[in-house]
């Protein structure tokens, strides 16, 4: 067991009711959610605890030379509820098909040490910890005459996750996660310009009120710069992308195309294929400290690991869960992830696992920070925030509107830009232009941003669409 407190171990309790002659696995989850919503600097709404308990049962029956997989999830923990879940899952196995002769489920290897998945203070008194963070957040704007929050929310989830399966696996761990959303508005002044906004959204594992004052300074500066920004020029330009922008691009594509799922559909790149500049090395690290995707185990109970995806520009390995590993007679890399897009995305137990990335780590280079990368760029654009890069994982194309960025002129970061788009493809067949193939320089310092730990990178070129064609 990992974590600060005793877990609810729902999976182990439900497992006592499972008497099946085929492989099966269970994930159990208890979440307690607390939220504070702000209107300006006032509390608009306090929510919580929002208690949800549930589990998902998956089972594998031989069918047509492969397996039929049944899955059902429920918040009804009663024996009657379990019988209904089992009936649903059994029903699904009779119609489902998957090309694996047999399924090898994890048997419970020890997880890596450390407990950098859980904010102890938040766990012990979530309502007070959240209020303390909000107090720091609001306090950060005190005395600022030209900037203020318009709205915001801080949401904390305390999760007790447990897993059990037919091989005897019984594991459980606790974790915390935090989501911050804040609209920071800059206004006033003699120039009569319309107000500007910088929109903060991020996911983390812990509350860090000590970081707030410096962050507020940055957010206010970006919001003020929005007011005087103009669209960039159009053209094929060198572009500097910091980790906050890359995290909206790389995981969506690599976490889909570099998997057993993609390999089965012939969408994954072949091992050894040169897809990126030689200076690019990317790993998947399942236990990267404090990353929102980190955990001691994946969502099937395999212990978290590290996997090389791109080594010095060439394709290394792919990511597997137990199911897709079984289809290729290999072993799970600890990359089974649950979670679904849409209204129920907060409930991991409510969806079956699929292979995906946890935290991608792009190795740093030696090009220094943003000023040095700008100097190397010469004449280009630094993109600080994109509207929504939303890459298409199939084609690997990405692009979006520049919410705030800066012109780079003569190697210096110059006036702010906003509007217009930047886009391209993340990777492409060898010899073709792409974001990864055209990485010209990597910054020296890695920063964690959501599901990516990376340095800022200089890409030469990307297509920028701006005010003049």
Interaction residues for another protein, span 324-343 (CB under 8 A): 341-343
Instruction: For the CB of residue 426, give the shortest distance to another protein in the complex, in Å.
Output: 12
Q: Which of residues 438-467 bind another protein (CB under 8 A)?
A: 463-467
Task: Give the other-Cβ count within 10 Å of 73's Cβ.
Answer: 22
Per-residue binder mask for another protein (CB under 8 A), 275-294, x = binder: --------------------
Closest CB to another protein among residues 347, 374: 347
- Choose the stretch contacting another protein; rule: CB under 8 A; options: 3-11, 228-236, 298-306, 408-416: 228-236
For residue 219, give the H/E element and its range: helix 212-226
Residue among 211, 265, 412, 445 that touches another protein (CB under 8 A) = 265
> Between 34 and 133, whose beta carbon lies closer to another protein?
34
Question: Residue 447 Cβ, how far from another protein at the closest point, in Å?
Answer: 20
As to burial, measured by CB atoms within 10 angstroms (0-12 exposed, 13-18 middle, 19+ buried), residue 194 is exposed
Virtual CA dihedral for 218, 220, 225, 228, nearest 10 degrees?
180
Which two structure tokens, joined as six digits, stand for 304? 């978290």
Nearer to another protein, 89 or 458 (CB): 89
Q: How far apart are CA 165 and CA 59, in angstroms?
A: 10
d(CA 450, CA 389): 14
Site for another protein in 49-68 (CB under 8 A): 49-54, 56
Minimum distance, C-beta of residue 372 to another protein, in the bound complex (Å): 27
From the CB of residue 228, how many other CB atoms can be counted at a distance below 10 Å? 13
102 interacts with another protein by CB under 8 A: no
Of 363-422, binders to another protein (CB under 8 A) are 387-388, 390, 392, 394-403, 418-422
* C-alpha angle 439-202-259 in degrees, rounded to nearest 5: 55
Angular region, 247: left φ>0, alpha ψ -120 to 50, beta rest? alpha
Residues of span 71-100 touching another protein by CB under 8 A: 71-77, 81, 84-85, 88-89, 91-92, 94-99
Q: Give the residue from 308, 247, 244, 305 showing the smallest Cα distance to 281.
A: 308
State the number of binding residues for another protein (CB under 8 A).
104
Q: In the complex, what is the shortest distance from the CB of residue 465 to another protein, in angstroms, rounded to a whole number?
A: 3
Among 13, 18, 167, 179, binds another protein (CB under 8 A): 179
Task: Quote the tokens at residue 132.
Answer: 């303390």
Nearest to 414 by CA among 368, 353, 465, 371: 371
**What is the number of other CB atoms lying within 10 angstroms of the CB of residue 236?**
13
Binding status of residue 269 toward another protein by CB under 8 A? yes
Site for another protein in 183-202 (CB under 8 A): 183, 185, 194-197, 199, 201
Q: Which residue has the tokens 């208690």?
A: 51
Binding to another protein (CB under 8 A) within 292-311 occurs at none
Q: Is 128 in the site for another protein (CB under 8 A)?
A: no
* Selected binder of another protein within 154, 240, 347, 382 (CB under 8 A): 347
């Amino acid at each position: 067991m990992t974590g600060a407190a005793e877990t609810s171990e729902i999976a182990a309790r439900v497992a006592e009711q499972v008497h099946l002659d085929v492989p099966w696995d269970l994930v159990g989850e208890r979440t307690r959610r607390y939220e504070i919503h702000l209107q300006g600097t006032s509390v608009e709404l306090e929510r919580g605890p929002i208690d949800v308990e549930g589990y998902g049962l998956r089972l594998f029956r031989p069918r047509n030379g492969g397996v039929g997989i049944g899955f059902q999830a429920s918040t009804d923990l009663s024996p009657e509820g379990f019988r209904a879940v089992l009936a649903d899952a059994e029903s699904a196995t009779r119609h489902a098909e998957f090309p694996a002769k047999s399924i090898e489920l994890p048997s419970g290897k020890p997880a890596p040490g450390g407990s950098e998945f859980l904010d102890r203070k938040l766990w012990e008194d979530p309502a007070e910890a959240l209020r303390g963070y909000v107090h720091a957040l609001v306090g950060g704007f005190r005395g600022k005459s030209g900037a203020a929050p318009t709205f915001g929310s801080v949401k904390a989830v305390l999760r007790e996750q447990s897993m059990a399966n037919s091989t005897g696996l019984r594991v459980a761990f606790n974790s915390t996660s935090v989501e911050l959303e804040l609209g920071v508005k800059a206004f006033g002044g003699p120039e009569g310009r319309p107000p500007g906004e910088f929109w903060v959204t991020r996911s983390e594992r812990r509350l860090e009120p000590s970081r707030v004052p410096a962050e507020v300074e940055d957010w206010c500066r970006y919001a003020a710069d929005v007011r005087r920004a103009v669209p960039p020029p159009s053209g094929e330009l060198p572009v500097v992308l910091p980790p906050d922008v890359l995290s909206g691009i790389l995981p969506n594509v690599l976490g889909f195309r570099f998997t057993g799922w993609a390999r089965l559909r012939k969408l994954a790149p072949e091992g050894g294929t040169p897809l990126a500049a030689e200076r690019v090395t990317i790993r998947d690290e399942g236990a990267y400290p404090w990353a929102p995707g980190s955990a001691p185990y994946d969502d099937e109970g395999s212990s978290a690991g590290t996997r090389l995806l791109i080594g010095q520009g060439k394709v290394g390995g792919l990511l597997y869960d137990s199911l897709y590993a079984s289809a290729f007679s290999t072993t799970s890399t600890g990359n089974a992830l649950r979670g679904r897009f849409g209204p129920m995305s907060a409930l991991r137990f409510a969806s079956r696992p699929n292979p995906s990335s946890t935290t991608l780590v792009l190795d740093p280079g030696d090009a220094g920070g943003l000023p040095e990368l700008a100097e190397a760029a010469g004449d280009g654009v630094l993109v600080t925030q994109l509207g929504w890069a939303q890459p298409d994982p199939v084609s690997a194309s990405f692009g979006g509107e520049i919410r705030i960025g800066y012109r780079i002129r003569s190697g210096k970061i110059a006036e702010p830009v906003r509007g217009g788009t930047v886009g391209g493809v993340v990777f492409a067949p060898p010899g073709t232009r792409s974001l990864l193939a055209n990485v010209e320089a990597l910054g020296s310092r890695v920063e964690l941003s959501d599901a990516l730990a990376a340095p800022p990178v200089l890409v030469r070129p990307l297509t920028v669409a701006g005010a003049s064609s």
